[in-house]
Amino acid sequence: MSERSERLFEALGEIDEGKIDEAAPAEKRVVHWKRWTALAAAFVLVIGAGSYVLPRLGGNAGSAGAGGAGAGSDGASTFMSYAGPVFPLTLREADSAILAEREITLDFAPWIPVWWSNEEEANRDGYTPEQRQETLDMYNEWYPEGGRWKSSTDIRVADAYTLTNTSNEDKTVSVLYPFAGMLNDLENIRPTLTAGGQELETTLYAGQYSGGFQGAWEGWPNRKDNPGSVNLDQPNSWEDFRDRLEDGDYLRSALGEWADLSGVPVTVYQFTDPWGPEPDEEAGVPNPTIRVYFDLDYDRTEVLSYGFNGGSYDRENGRQGKSFSIPRDFWPERSKFPKYLIVLGNDIRNITAQGCVTGGWDDEKTLEAGVTIQRYESNLEDILYTVAQYALREEKDFDLSYGIWKDWLLSYGVLADDPMERYRWGDIEHMDVDIMSRVFYLEAQVTIPAGGSVQLSAEMTKEGSYDFACAHTENRGIYGYDMVTKLGSNLICTGQTAVLEDRGQIRIIRQNFGFDLENGVKQVTLDPSQEHYYLEIKGREDRFGK
């Protein structure tokens, strides 16, 4: 060692920041999930090596057990069904010249009871006159006063921002408005963005599942006693979202491209036109079934399936079976779609199809039945797209659903580095993607004049968080609504206020906003250093007494 090597070491300190950035060591040992623009074409080889380069579930969004009244770190409850907080607006590119003032209004207008007559209840679409009369009679019996008062436990949220451009030039910025929810409820929860009173055109992005997985229910509700990944463990506190969103990776991946799987070769087996006898209980044929058997090397082959009802897995003997009931004329359309086996890695061998009297794998009685099997080479992207035409046919936004579906397969399903037990059998029609809590982002363009301001507002329906009534917890009948002040946001917010429109419908049980209904304090200034605000309420007992 010499002074010269010391000088060389020091001279290295002068090199370009871009190279320093590029070489920055990974700060976390957990590999963060991200979308891939391309997958390794050598997927078969990777499978052969016994490990996958596909993505790993990032982070642990698990949490303590639900059902804790006021048990959160800031005194908020941990609800069994958590709707997620209201998030703050952010910008696609941070801009220190843009300042924001935020005013959020929590409006309990949906809680105002409305009279719902028995006639309205009976006049639903799709009822025949007989059914309508039957329904009306039933409701008249239940509600002899001719109807009943109903109200929602949703609230309306208006999350309003005054965006000020402090620079000397007009600025057009891309704003991103995050909101928590599930794909199957998207229509109800999707906010409307307006600027200067005009509705903005928006582009929707979806983040990945924001929860984790847990084992079977023994030991419930304490997750620590509940190892495994058989069940979904949806996020049930704002901290779960914080863990996901805080470092920006979640948003970056949400804005990224969906995976392109066209470089992954597969062998496809398509099953069409199954035939067999009608079920006949007395003849001992309760459920005519096609049973497909094949041999495989479990270490070198992964099999995805679509359209099968049952499976048999014999790793020791390198054997696997899949089965489906032979569809009957009056069965739903989906039961008649083609079935698929999608083979990654080494091909399967010795495939056979046999008719059986039931779907039970321990029942060996056979019958005369058959199915047309077509084998062909393809790639994972093409075959998944083909299957998605069936599996996602009812989704309103096919492209979004398809992208989320692929993410699910790659992140948690059999294509994942560490597949969840829940999906280990390779069935790809599991539609958990619909009910997995995630954060969506609406993107819009807003122009703010130099030295001027624009009023931007996100208005939405927000579900309450609650405990299941049957669980008889201390929080029975209590609904929670919460917000975060800066999580995931790069906006420089100079002030935040919250307004409560209680509409005379609620009693406050817990909160950290500082509202005081008795003394008319319905508008409060929020402390920017306080990351999370919550409001937990009960409906006033006298509100139905009309």
Partner 1 sequence: MEDAAIIGLYWARDEEAIAASDRKYGKLCRSLSRDILDSREDAEECVNDTWQKAWNTMPPQRPNSLRAYLAKITRNLSIDRWRAGRAEKRGNGLTILLDELEEALPAPSAEELTEARETARTIERWLDTISPADRIAFLQRYWYGQRVDMVAKQAGCSSNSMVKRLGRLRDGLRRALEQEGINV
- At closest approach, how far in Å is the CB of 18 from partner 1? 7
**Residue owning tokens 């070489």:** 23
* Element (DSSP H or E) covering residue 486: none
Nearer to partner 1, 55 or 181 (CB): 55
Nearer to partner 1, 3 or 329 (CB): 3
- At closest approach, how far in Å is the CB of 531 from partner 1? 11
Q: Half-sphere exposure (CA, 13 Å, Cβ side) for 119?
A: 2
Helix (H, G, I), strand (E, B) or coil at 367: strand
Q: Half-sphere exposure (CA, 13 Å, Cβ side) for 432?
A: 25
- At closest approach, how far in Å is the CB of 540 from partner 1? 40
Structure tokens at 88: 């703050």
User: Which of 102, 244, 406, 486 touches partner 1 (CB under 8 A)?
Assistant: 486
Q: Is 144 in the site for partner 1 (CB under 8 A)?
A: no
The whole-angstrom distance between residue 428's C-alpha and the CA centroid of its chain comes to 16
As a whole number of Å, the end-to-end CA separation of the chain is 89
Structure tokens at 43: 């997927």
Structure tokens at 301: 């082959």
Q: Is 168 in the site for partner 1 (CB under 8 A)?
A: no
Nearer to partner 1, 51 or 350 (CB): 51
Stretch that binds partner 1, among 22-30, 206-214, 473-481, 513-521 (CB under 8 A): 22-30
The sheet with strand 90-91 has its strands ordered as 90-91, 171-181, 438-448, 203-209
Closest to 163 measured CA to CA, from 459, 493, 486: 493
Q: Are 341 and 371 in contact (CB under 8 A)?
A: no
* Window 290 to 329, contacts with partner 1 (CB under 8 A): none
Q: How many CB atoms lie within 10 A of CB 508?
A: 16
Structure tokens at 340: 């698929």
Nearer to partner 1, 8 or 450 (CB): 8
Q: Is 19 in the site for partner 1 (CB under 8 A)?
A: yes
Nearer to partner 1, 96 or 519 (CB): 96
Interface mask (CB under 8 A) for partner 1, residues 520-539, using x and -?
Answer: ---------x----------
Nearer to partner 1, 247 or 501 (CB): 247
User: Which of 12, 38, 41, 216 touches partner 1 (CB under 8 A)?
Assistant: 12
- At closest approach, how far in Å is the CB of 247 from partner 1? 7
Q: What share of the chain is helix, strand, coil (3-state, %, to 5)?
A: 20, 35, 45
Q: Which amino acid is at 128?
A: T
Stretch that binds partner 1, among 7-15, 177-185, 186-194, 265-273 (CB under 8 A): 7-15
Q: Are 70 and 368 in contact (CB under 8 A)?
A: no
* Window 491 to 510, contacts with partner 1 (CB under 8 A): 491-492
* Window 460 to 479, contacts with partner 1 (CB under 8 A): none
Stretch that binds partner 1, among 10-18, 123-131, 137-145, 469-477 (CB under 8 A): 10-18
In angstroms, the Cα distances linking 240 to 85, 180, 454, 543 are: 11, 12, 32, 35
Q: Which residues contact 472 (CB under 8 A, 6 or more apart)?
A: none
- At closest approach, how far in Å is the CB of 52 from partner 1? 14
* Window 93 to 112, contacts with partner 1 (CB under 8 A): 93-96
User: Which of 23, 114, 469, 470 touches partner 1 (CB under 8 A)?
Assistant: 23
Q: Half-sphere exposure (CA, 13 Å, Cβ side) for 325?
A: 16
Q: Is 1 in the site for partner 1 (CB under 8 A)?
A: yes
Interface mask (CB under 8 A) for partner 1, residues 27-66, using x and -?
Answer: x---------------------------------------
Nearer to partner 1, 74 or 185 (CB): 74
Stretch that binds partner 1, among 37-45, 163-171, 340-348, 487-495 (CB under 8 A): 487-495
Nearer to partner 1, 26 or 470 (CB): 26
Query: Where do runs of H (alpha helix) occur along 2-63?
Result: 3-12, 17-22, 43-48
DSSP 68-101: BTT-STTS--B-SB---PBPPPEESS--TTEEEE
Interface mask (CB under 8 A) for partner 1, residues 214-253, using x and -?
Answer: --------------------------------xxx-----
Nearer to partner 1, 248 or 452 (CB): 248
Q: Which residues bind partner 1 (CB under 8 A)?
A: 1-2, 4-27, 93-96, 246-248, 486, 489-492, 529
